[in-house]
Every structure is written in C-alpha cells, then in structure tokens.
Amino acid sequence: MSMDVTFLGTGAAYPSPTRGASALVLRCEGECWLFDCGEGTQTQLMKSQLKAGRITKIFITHLHGDHFFGLPGLLCTISLQSGSVVTKQPIEIYGPAGLRDFIWRTMELSHTELVFPYVVHELVPTADQCPPEELKEFMHVNKTDSHPKEGQGRTILLDSEENSYLLVDDEQFVVKAFRLFHRIPSFGFSVVEKKRPGKLNAQKLKDLG
C-alpha cells in the first residue's frame, strides 16, 4: 500500500508566516487522514498537493487551541468547495471529550450550514492523564441541539486490558488511541496496516517451473 505523510504545521502556540500550527496528513488509498488542525491548516493545505475534499477522518490529540482552532474553518472550506450536490461520506472526527460541544457551538453561533455530514467520536480521559485540577467534566450537548449534518458519534472508553482506545477496525487498518500525560488530557494515535494476501499466482509459477 502506498502511504505518505505531509507535515502541514509543526509550530507550537501559534502559527507564523513560515510555519503553521500543529497538523499533518496521512495519505493512503486515495484518502487523507488529518491529525490535529491548528490555525492556518487550510492555508497550508492549499499550498500543498493535497485536496481538503479528500479528508475522510480527523484526529485531534488534545484541546489546546494550537491543535484544533483551525477545525471550524476547515470544515467550512470543505463545505464551500463541495458544491450543492454532495454524495460525500460523513467525515469522522475523533478527539477528547468536549470536542463535539466545541464544534456544535461554533457552527451554531456562526450560523454555518455544512453540505456534508460529520460524526464526532469522543474519547473519555482518565484521571491520571493530567494534573488533577485540570481534569474537567464536560457537559455534552443534547442530541436535539446537534447540527443538522451531525451524525450519532460514539463515546469511547479506555479498554483496560489493551490499555488503549479502539477507534477504527476495518478491512485495511486498526487505529488506536493511547493516553498521554500533558497539562490537559491528551492522546497519541497508532495506525496499523493489516496483513494482506499477496498477488502472486502460485499455480502459474508452478506451471512455469
């Protein structure tokens, strides 16, 4: 499988004229997966050979602004570039508890109408991921208050036996999140490609000796 990584931003705290805030894209099989979305991410995408409309999954490590303040703007740009007739599959968004509330309130306050659906899956942190005074209980928005284009997401708990959060398990990949210690609850992500059978024609090789 052809896979490549593009660093769109490696700066901390805020973007600069020459360096974007945290964001990178993993591209595989025609899809783009975005990891973090700091300010300026959509501008960096426009400078690259990547297409924002190819993004199918977004993973947010933690809720410090330099890692996700670019997300509302990016979603709006993808919507504007998608046109009026859309067959786009929902964009799957993964991140710490509180992310869904942020996206919904941003869309609600800005009267944003997206033309594509999206789903937010929230990871529930544990008490040992940050200093005790920084661990907050987020009040989730009611389903009746969700954005018209928002689908039903999952609330993902830690698998204590695996010591990880299972996010994706399909025919090609297993994606898991792992707890990191930071000033606020944070997560790292692993993407593992599943084994695939080879394409050699064993019988033809035997026939050819």
Domain ranges, residue 90: 3-208
- pLDDT-derived band of residue 106, with 50, 70 and 90 as boundaries? very high
Q: What are 113-129's pLDDT values in tens digits?
A: 898 999 999 999 999 99
What is the average pLDDT across 145-167? 89
Q: Is 66 a catalytic residue?
A: yes
Identify the pLDDT of residue 45.
93
Q: Is the pLDDT of residue 144 over 70?
A: no
| Cβ neighbours of residue 201 closer than 8 Å, sequence gap 6 or more | none
What is the average pLDDT across 27-48? 92
Q: Per-residue b/e over 74-91, b at no fewer than 16 CB within 10 Å?
A: bbbbbbeebeeeeeeeeb
CATH number, residue 175: 3.60.15.10
> What does the DSSP 8-state code read for residue 132?
G
Q: Is the pLDDT of residue 2 over 60?
A: yes
Q: Is the pLDDT of residue 85 over 60?
A: no
- How many distinct structural domains can be found in the chain? 1
| Cβ neighbours of residue 161 closer than 8 Å, sequence gap 6 or more | none
Identify the pLDDT of residue 28.
87
> What does the DSSP 8-state code read for residue 194?
P
Identify the pLDDT of residue 30.
79
Question: How far, in Å, are 43, 131, 204 from residue 159 at the CA level?
Answer: 37, 22, 46
Residues 188 and 185: their CA atoms lie apart, in Å, by: 11
What is the average pLDDT across 59-77? 96
The alpha-helical segments, DSSP class H, found in 97-165 are 99-109
Q: Is the pLDDT of residue 14 over 90?
A: no
Q: Are 60 and 99 in contact (CB under 8 A)?
A: yes
Number of residues in the chain: 209
Q: Are 6 and 48 in contact (CB under 8 A)?
A: yes
Vertex 41: Cα angle to 73 and 90 (nearest 5):
60
Identify the pLDDT of residue 160.
93
Residues 192 and 50: their CA atoms lie apart, in Å, by: 22
* Active-site residue identified among 4, 36, 66, 101: 66
State the CB neighbour count (10 A cutoff) for residue 159: 11
